Amino acid sequence: MFPTRSNGSLAGDRLRNGVDRWFSDLFTGLSVGDLPVFVERGSPAMNLWETEHDFQAELELPGFSLGDLDLSIVGNELTIKGERKGVEDDGALYVRRERNVGSFSRVVRLPVPTDSAKVEAHLKDGVLALKLPKAEASKPRKIQVKALQTQGKE
pLDDT tens, residue by residue, 136-151: 876 677 888 988 887 7
* Residue 6 banded pLDDT, cuts 50, 70, 90: very low
pLDDT tens, residue by residue, 86-122: 777 777 788 887 877 888 898 999 999 999 899 999 9
CA-nearest of 117, 99, 108 to 58 is 108
- Domains (ranges, CATH) in the chain? 1-38 (no CATH), 40-137 (2.60.40.790)
pLDDT tens, residue by residue, 34-82: 444 444 555 788 999 999 899 999 999 988 888 899 999 988 899 999 9
pTM of the model: 0.61
